[in-house]
Amino acid sequence: MRFNQFSKSSGSGFIHGPSGDITPQAVYAQRRDWLKHMAAGAAGLSMAAWASREALAQTPSDVVVRPGKLAPLTGAVSRVSGANTMEKITTYADASSYNNFYEFGTDKSDPAKYAHTLQIKPWTVEVEGLVKKPGRFDLDALLKLSPMEERIYRLRCVEGWSMVIPWVGYSLAELIKRVEPLGSAKYVEFITQADPKTMPGVRSRVLDWPYVEGLRMDEAMHPLTLLSFGMYGEVLPNQNGAPVRLVVPWKYGFKSAKSLVKIRFVEKQPVNSWGRSAPQEYGFYSNVNPNVNHPRWSQATERRIGEDGLFAKKRKTLMFNGYEAQVGQLYTGMDLSKLY
C-alpha cells in the first residue's frame, strides 16, 4: 500500500480529482526528493521501519485510507520512536468533522461547517525572536525543508475524548535547527492566524486573538513534536489547521496550535491563550496526565471516538498519552501536579 504510493510517483502519477485539487508543485518536488532518497539508499531504512510495522500489523491501522478529497501529501513511515502507534485509526469523517477550532465557532461541528472560508494561499510563516537566522518562509519553502514523514499519533483532547490520526509532516526540530536559536532562547511561541474576515469565530470575544501556544525549547526540539502539513495522506483540511500546524502528541490537543503564521523564540515562558483565559483550569504544560483532574471533569479516562461503542466503558488515559517512554525524561524532577 505504502510502497505503491512511492512507485506511483514515478509512473502514471496519482489519480487526480478536480483541477483545484491538482498536486502543488512543492509536493511534486517532494516526491522527486523522495526518489533521490530512495536512489541514495535512504529508503532502505524507512522501508525497514515500514516492514517492521507491517510485520506487527494486525489491525486496519496499517493501511491509511486516503479519503480522496484533497491534494495528496504522503510521507515515509517515520523512524522516530513512538511515531507509529498500532491502534485503530479514527475515520477521516470523524477526524475532519469533530474538533475544536474556536476561530470558526465554539461547537465542535463548527470548524467543518465554516472553515471553507479560510484563505491558505498565499501563506507565510514568520520566524522571529532569539534566532540567528530569522525570516519569512512561504509554504512551498516549508514543504521542501525536510522529507515528509507519516506519523500515527494518539490525540487526547482535554475534554476527555481521543482519536488516532495519521499526520504528515516532519519534526519541528528540523525547522528550529535551520534558524539557529540563540542560547537565550528558552521557549518557543506559536502564533496562529486570526483573520476576522475569513474566521467568523474571531469576531467573538471567547478568547483573546490571535490564539497563542508555547513550548519549552526541549519540548519543541523533541523529535515527536511535529510540524504537520497533512493527514490521511492528503494536505490538511482547513478545519484541521491548514496549511501548517503543530502536533504535540503527549499534550492535550489545544497545545497543538493550528494554521501557524508566526514562530517566535523567546526567553520567558509565553502565556498561552487558554492559560490566559482560565489559568486555574489550563496550565502551560498541559501534559496528558490521568492523575491531574480538570476542575470540572476527571482526566482518568477517555472516550475513543468512533471506536468504543456507545455503552462501552471509557478507556484509561495513559500518562503523557502513552508517550512516557519518549518524553518522560523531559519532566524529571518536576512536580506535575503543580506544573500541570
Applying CB under 8 A, which residues contact other proteins?
A: 93-94, 97-98, 106, 108-109, 161, 206-207, 277-278, 281, 293-298, 303, 305-306, 310-311, 313-314
Taking the complex as a whole, the smallest distance from the CB of residue 305 to other proteins amounts, in Å, to 5
Taking the complex as a whole, the smallest distance from the CB of residue 173 to other proteins amounts, in Å, to 32
Residue with Cβ nearer other proteins (24 or 201) = 201
Instruction: List CB contacts of 67: < 8 A, sequence separation 6 or more.
Output: 92, 93, 96, 232, 234
Give CA–CA dist 190/209, Å, rounded.
12
The distance of Cα 113 from the centroid of its chain, to the nearest Å, equals 21
Residue with Cβ nearer other proteins (79 or 294) = 294
Residue with Cβ nearer other proteins (84 or 162) = 162
Taking the complex as a whole, the smallest distance from the CB of residue 290 to other proteins amounts, in Å, to 14
**Residue 80 DSSP label:** S
Give CA–CA dist 219/327, Å, rounded.
8
Q: Are the C-beta atoms of 174 and 225 separated by less than 8 Å?
A: no
Q: Are the C-beta atoms of 52 and 46 separated by less than 8 Å?
A: no
Residue 159 is placed in which grid cell? Answer: 475534554
Q: How many residues does the chain have?
A: 340
Residue with Cβ nearer other proteins (51 or 312) = 312
Residue with Cβ nearer other proteins (55 or 311) = 311
Residue with Cβ nearer other proteins (243 or 275) = 275
Taking the complex as a whole, the smallest distance from the CB of residue 161 to other proteins amounts, in Å, to 6
Give CA–CA dist 242/168, Å, rounded.
12
Cβ count near 326 (within 10 Å): 18
Residue with Cβ nearer other proteins (206 or 330) = 206
Q: Are the C-beta atoms of 219 and 270 separated by less than 8 Å?
A: no
Q: Which parts of 147-206 fold into alpha helices (H)?
A: 172-179
Taking the complex as a whole, the smallest distance from the CB of residue 237 to other proteins amounts, in Å, to 14
Residue with Cβ nearer other proteins (69 or 132) = 69
Taking the complex as a whole, the smallest distance from the CB of residue 98 to other proteins amounts, in Å, to 3
Give CA–CA dist 192/212, Å, rounded.
6
Cβ count near 308 (within 10 Å): 15
Dihedral (CA of 236, 237, 241, 242) sign = positive
Taking the complex as a whole, the smallest distance from the CB of residue 292 to other proteins amounts, in Å, to 13
Taking the complex as a whole, the smallest distance from the CB of residue 35 to other proteins amounts, in Å, to 38
Q: Which parts of the chain fold into alpha helices (H)?
A: 2-10, 25-39, 42-56, 92-95, 110-114, 139-144, 172-179, 217-221, 273-277, 324-327
Of 253, 216, 252, 226, which is closest to residue 334 (Cα–Cα)?
216
